[in-house]
Amino acid sequence: MVAPVTKAVIPAAGLGTRFLPATKAQPKEMLPVIDKPAIQYVVEEAVRAGIDDICIVTSSSKRSLEDHFDRNFELEHLLTSKGKDREKDDVVALAELADFHYVRQGEPLGLGHAVATARRHIGDSPFVVLLGDEFMAEGSGLLEGMIATHQEHGCSVLALMEVEGDEIARYGSADSEAFGDRLVKVNGVVEKPKPAEAPSNLAVMGRYVFTPQIFEHIARLTPGAGGELQLTDAIGTLLAEQQVLGFTFSEGRYDTGVVLDYLKVIVEMAAARPDIGPEFSAFLKDFVAKV
């Protein structure tokens, strides 16, 4: 019987250099997307998929991230005294989304190393990895589908999406073959290949469901691309021991990892909001007409 997936790891120890100077004193995961920090959307996505234990990998500059998902009794008291009960309930609910745990990644040694820092907390359980600067639209069903695939087949599952042209150089590229509806069998993964050398245009996106055996393969890694311990390299050796499936999708992904994409996410999500969307869309039409 396959154990249920209830734990998640969110690597969030990076320096966010693409967003300097905004990230000099603030984690990139805490940059606002309208009225929530980006990482809150990631956590809410995990919770919707049934995750109730979240381990966030941080660094010495990420204290505000930890504070965001903690209680703030002074703020709660102030909101209560001003009759702002809805706002108070919202901030209290943040700490109740899940059980939060934090581990420090002392050195920036790559995504594989970041995941490995959570090994003691995860133990022998299957778990999810969600990158902290991208998230899926509510109702996309991606993470739920990946977890269901793991439950059915008992193996690790990667999120895969087709990308255009040279974009594959930003991601891991999956060598795969058809397996079933929305599923492919992964035969190999190449980290950030040159477009001409990529095995496919199926890119590995920031959602993974892993069996605990992945930790053994990370432990055997030597530095790869960029001098870092690459998670894709560990997946490559895991393939020699167990099946890895890819769960394909084509829409619903929001990427806040680079400045232009971050701006696009804000515009797209603001236009879709029922409370501000109509007025904001009217503003955009006028703005574009003037430009």
User: How many CB atoms sit inside 10 A of residue 70's CB?
Assistant: 10
How many Å apart are CA 180 and CA 160, to the nearest integer? 14
Predicted structure pTM score: 0.92
- Domain boundaries defined on the chain: 7-257, 258-291
Over residues 220-275, the pLDDT tens digits come to 988 866 778 889 999 999 999 999 999 999 989 999 988 999 999 999 999 999 99
Task: Render pLDDT for 105-157 as a digit per residue (tens, 0 to 9).
Answer: 988 888 999 999 999 999 999 999 999 889 998 889 999 999 999 999 999 99
Distance CA 244, CA 246 (A): 7
Rounded to whole angstroms, the Cα distance separating 230 from 208 reads: 14
The stretches of the chain forming alpha helices (DSSP H) are 38-48, 63-68, 73-81, 85-95, 111-116, 119-122, 142-153, 214-219, 231-238, 259-272, 277-290
Task: Write the CATH number of the domain with boundaries 7-257.
Answer: 3.90.550.10
For residue 274, what are its two tokens? 């029922």
CA of residue 275 relative to chain centroid, distance: 27
Q: What is the CA radius of gyration of the chain?
A: 20
Strands 134-136 and 156-162: unpaired
The residues, any chain, with a CB within 8 Å of residue 71's CB and separated by 6 or more, are 92, 95
Q: What is the mean pLDDT of residues 78-88?
A: 94
Residues 58-77: tens digit of each pLDDT: 988 788 889 999 999 999 99
